[in-house]
Structure 1
């Protein structure tokens, strides 16, 4: 099982980030190991040795069949469910690695850094390109977004990634987080994620 993640995939990144997209034509992809996966409402234990840990709320899709070099027009056939996930990031370490031109795995792929909610069947969603999602912490909404604001659609992501990796049943794609709203998590925070109006994610930080 592969965890594939996408960076800088929401407008208006080019206007608000210190680092503008170098090539908006193609998605920016990175990977997380399977040990990063956190499921079943298990608590997230904050790794203090990594510095400030921040949440990034994302739509996650589940690959449902084997595929390689998938044309974008057929990509919708290769995923069957969506949910809300959290891409936890060691923010200070990420800044250091970017400045040094180093890979991101250590600040993006640590244990528990890929939180996953309960799956929602794709067939129950009327418009995959206009799904609202949000994250509440301690009862307050801290981040929200819509797939309508993606730079690269889910179908394009599936097609693009399949050019480099054979997609297999059970692989996950974290499709990127909205530009605004990410922030630090602290011990005893209670996180709840919503896909449209349905709560699909709930866990505590310890």
Structure 2
């Protein structure tokens, strides 16, 4: 097969303890999956109608690379999240199939151009440009599910310049991991290589150039980086 220009490189993530990397297909995200975060954003939570959106695979920032401050915003916000990587997929999965589809876990930031999001929300317009921009998803290496088993007491935290900004427990999620996968599989055919950002706890706030962040899914994954 010949193409008119060079094909883009495949976005991939390192896997802790393995030479192979995880090739990324799609990046799904769920909004309003922690009640306290929904309240701080002035939004209601409806567990029966989860809110999903996507980021392009090449929005990921991997291997500890610097994160460029994006254009067209003066209010860039952090949202720390557990990220789930899939090794299999399908449609209309049940809970057991959803659990079996998980390859591993990591921690990432769902960066948001909050000022643009507010403008589009006020107009009732889609706010993809507030979420799916370049470099909007810094991401850690993955830890295999065969090695770890996050539970309701697993903590997720974000420090910026050494100060704690966000802290939560996975048990505070409105929908658990298997429930998220089941719900997504009713809307999309999930496949190996898909990533799922599972929502952020309260405490979202602004990042500026020069900020250093330390995100941690305790006992599982760590992400360090800086905004440049």
Common topology (TM > 0.5):
yes
Match of 2:21 in 1: none
Match of 1:196 in 2: 218
The alignment of Structure 1 onto Structure 2 pairs a total of residues equal to 204
Match of 1:95 in 2: 118
Match of 1:9 among 33, 40, 61: 33
Match of 2:156 in 1: 133
- Once the two structures are superposed, the pairs formed by residues 51-70 of structure 1 within 5 Å of their partners are 51-70=74-93
Match of 2:199 in 1: 176
1:20 Cα offset (Å): 1.6
- Give, in whole Å, the separation in 2 of the partners of 1:3 and 1:173: 6
Q: Deviations over 1:136-194 (max 9, x none)?
A: 1112221111110000010000011011111111110000001x211111111111111
After TM superposition, the score normalised by the length of structure 1 is 0.92
Q: Deviations over 1:83-115 (max 9, x none)?
A: 110000000110111111111210000001111
Secondary structure of the residue aligned to 1:134 is: strand
Higher helix share: 1
126-135 or 3-12, which deviates more: 126-135
| Gap regions ≥5 residues in structure 1 | none
Rg (Cα) greater in structure:
2
| Gap regions ≥5 residues in structure 2 | 1-24
**Cα distance, 1:69–1:198 mapped onto 2, change above 3 Å:** closer
Match of 2:17 in 1: none
196-205 or 164-173, which deviates more: 196-205
- Answer 1 or 2: higher relative contact order, Cα 8 Å, separation at least 6: 1
RMSD of aligned C-alpha atoms?
1.6
- Whether 2:200 is the aligned partner of 1:150: answer no
- Whether 2:133 is the aligned partner of 1:105: answer no
